[in-house]
Chains A and B, each alone.
Chain A
Amino acid sequence: MKAFSSFLGKEFQESLRTYRALIMIAAFVALGVLSPLLAKMVPDLLNGTDMGGGAILRVPAATALDSWGQFFKNISQLGVLVLVIVDCGITGTELARGTLTNFLAKGLSRSTVIWAKFVAASVVWTLCYVLALLVTWGYTWYFWGNGPLPHAFLAFACLWVFGEFLIALLILGGIIQANIYGALLAAAAVIIVLNLVNIAPQAAKYNPITLAGGTVNLLSGQNSPGDYLPALWICLAAIVAVMAAALAVFDRKQL
């Protein structure tokens, strides 16, 4: 337990001193600001556009839901991209450079390394996600006032769980290949495959990628929790499976 907390401390220190935490926080706060801004700008820019033939485009004024729609879109695209860029070296860099050898040779268990890295990355991701959420929530309330947000917790939790899934994938990819490219490859490959699977409409309900981006329809009342729960459970199961694989692969890894 002491080894775990020490190594976790090292992970946080690394996050801060290598500017990874700074990048994540700045990017997510910016995305939190950007979402209501974009929601507000789109109608202002488009309104009054001459469509030709005397038709003038009339776009309805933005609402709180537009702001949340932008939030989900931005975090699930740019936010996830930043998460992947920042955490792609989570395990690969250490294995490629051999910085773990000194600690493993002192009896640090390999599973401690994996769990400490998962927890540290999760804490940073959670902090950034909540920050972005609070910033968007503040602006949305300021501009439009917040009406009722049905199933808000589930709607926000879905994207968060998807982020956790990516962190687990980056850990596994880095362990297998022992470099950052393995992590990038694992994350990219899984996202591409999940997007391909989504071509079949009946699969969407069970596809973890549904958790990223689409949950604004829960807030609008257009969809019900039942449309997301299967994908959520599958995603949670996938996280457990990926972490188990990472532990198993690392335990057998010859260093």
Chain B
Amino acid sequence: MTDQLRSYLPIIIPLAIIEVGLMVAALIHIFSHKKYRFGNRWVWVVISVLFNLIGPILYFAVGRGETQDDE
């Protein structure tokens, strides 16, 4: 079984990196902004953490506010 598991590693690791990377990018963006097009901060945090890949994508695509707060 461990052998089988090991054979998955080269594929699981990059996938995990992409998923975690997107999630972190979304979280950074969520916490550095006050306004969102829909919903509020905690809704987007939950969505981004709970739904791998789709959550952060949804946030960036529809949730992200139009106006930039001061950087």
Contact = CB atoms under 8 A, between A and B. Distances in A.
Contact between chain A and chain B defined by CB under 8 Å = yes
B61 A23 contact: yes
A164 B42 CA distance: 36
B12 A85 contact: no
B11 A33 contact: yes
Given A40-B8, A40-B11, A142-B10, A82 B18 contact: no
A82 B11 contact: no
The interface residues of chain A, by DSSP majority, are classed as helix
B25 interface: yes
Interface in A17-38: 18-20, 22-23, 26-27, 29-30, 33-34, 36-37
A139 interface: yes
Interface residues of B, number: 22
B4 interface: yes
B60 interface: yes
Contacts of B50: none
A85 B57 contact: yes
A30 B18 contact: yes
Nearest to A88: B61
A23 B61 CA distance: 8
Contact of B25 (A22, A37, A44): A22
A210 to B, nearest CB: 27
A224 to B, nearest CB: 32
A22 B59 CA distance: 12
Given A22-B60, A30-B53, A37 B22 contact: no
Interface residues of A, number: 21
A86 interface: yes
A27 B11 contact: no
Contact of A26 (B12, B18, B62): B18
Contacts of B18: 26, 29-30, 33
Most A CB contacts (10 A, CB to CB) among B11, B22, B53 go to B11
Nearest to A180: B62
Nearest to B14: A33
B21 A37 contact: no
Interface of A: 18-20, 22-23, 26-27, 29-30, 33-34, 36-37, 40-41, 44, 82, 85-86, 139, 142
Interface of B: 4, 7-8, 10-12, 14-15, 18-19, 21-22, 25, 29, 53, 56-58, 60-62, 64
